């Protein structure tokens, strides 16, 4: 699991917050799941120094898409067919 630092907007103040995830996609998903985060500007991985500019990401649309995903769909998407266990 890698450490990610996100430059975000919370209560009209830019702040840096830390999260841990297996990928940039999971890090973004975590940020989308935080109702206090109004916007995300950049996300950086402290392990390899890579940075993603996600300014302008439509948080409301992303949250709606996330809400439309069912738990069953998530289990199916991340199930290891051979062992029927979660792989992420």
pLDDT tens-digit map of 23-69:
999 999 999 999 999 999 999 999 999 999 999 999 999 999 999 98
Which residues form the domain of 53? 2-86
pTM value is: 0.79
User: Per the structure, how many domains does the chain have?
Assistant: 1
Query: Given this model, what pLDDT does residue 85 score?
Result: 55
Query: Given this model, what pLDDT does residue 55 score?
Result: 95
**Long-range interactions of 10-18: CB distance < 8 A, separation 24+:** 10/36, 10/37, 10/38, 11/36, 11/38, 12/38, 14/41
Q: Is 45 exposed, middle or buried (0-12, 13-18, 19+ CB in 10 A)?
A: middle
pLDDT at 87 exceeding the cut of 70: no
């Amino acid at each position: 699991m890698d450490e990610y630092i996100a430059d975000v907007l919370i209560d009209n103040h830019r702040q840096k917050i830390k999260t841990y995830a297996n990928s940039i996609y999971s890090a973004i998903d975590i940020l989308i799941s935080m109702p206090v985060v109004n916007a995300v500007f950049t996300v950086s991985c402290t392990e390899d120094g890579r940075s993603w500019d996600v300014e302008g990401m439509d948080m409301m649309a992303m949250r709606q898409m996330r809400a439309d995903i069912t738990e069953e769909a998530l289990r199916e998407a991340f199930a290891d067919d051979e062992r029927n266990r979660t792989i992420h």
